[in-house]
Structure 1
Amino acid sequence: MRLDWSLIRTILAHVEAETIKEFLEDADSISQWKEGQLLSERLESRQNPAQVVVLRHIKLLSSANYVENIEIKESADGFFSFAYEGEPSLTFEGYSLLESLRTDNFIGKLKKYAKEKGVPLTIENVIELAKIALPALIKMD
C-alpha cells in the first residue's frame, strides 16, 4: 500500500467534523481509495479492498498519535476491523497535520520540495518540513 495524502486529509477532516463513523460505514464513499493501491489478491475475497486501505491509513494515524479513540485490528488472516473506544477525535498533532494538508496544493509543493532536498515523505517529515519550509512553499508556484 502506498501512503495517500489525500486520504489522510479526508480521514482527519472527517474526524474533526465528527463524521468519521458515517464515512467508515458508507462503502460507496470509500471505494475511490482503492484506486492506485497495490493490494494482495487474497484481500479481494475477504474484505472490500478500499476499506482495507482506509483502515490501514487510520491505523497509521492512530499509532502516530494523530487520531484517538479508533482502534484498528488485523486478524491473522488479514481481515481488518475497527472499534471506537470513545468519540473519535484529533490530537493536537492531528490538528497541526490537518491544517498543513489544507494549505492549497501543499502536498504537491511539499513533494517537489522533498524531491529537491532528497527527503522521503513520511508523516513525521511532512510535519517537520512544514515547519521549516511552509513560508517558502506558499510562495512557490
Structure 2
Amino acid sequence: MKLAFESRSQNESFARVAVAAFIAQLDPTVEEISDIKTAVSEAVTNCVVHGYKDCIGKIYITAKIYPDNRVRIIIRDAGCGIPDIERAMEPLYTTCDTGERAGMGFAVMEAFTDRLQVRSTSGKGTSVYLEKRIASKAAR
C-alpha cells in the first residue's frame, strides 16, 4: 500500500484508518490494531509538527505485509530532518519550544511496535520504519 497526503493535522486520523484498513486482512486483534494506529499516529504527528513546522509538505506512507504476518510501515517526509536522532529518541526531548509537546513520540512508537528504526538527513527529511508481527488465529 502506498499513500501520499499533505502534512495537515486532520490527515493524521486518515493515516491511522488507512493503515488499519490495510492490515485488517490479517485479522488482527483489537489490541494489535490499536497499537499500530497509535504508532502511525505518533509518526505522522511528528512529520506535521517537527518535519514541516513552518510549512505544508507531503507525508508518504508505505505498508507491506510479509508471509510471516509481519507488517512493515514506513512513514516518510521531506521536511527539515533530525540533526541528532539518538537525542531525539530520548524520552521527554522535543524541539518544540512552545511547551505543548511531551517529547514521547518515539518512545510511544517503540512501545507499540516490535521494531522501530529512524533515518534522517538534515534538510532532506525523515523516514520512520515500524514493524509489528500480527499473531495468527492459530497462535491465539
- Bigger-Rg structure (1/2): 1
TM value normalised by structure 1: 0.26
Q: Which has the higher helix share?
A: 1
TM value normalised by structure 2: 0.26
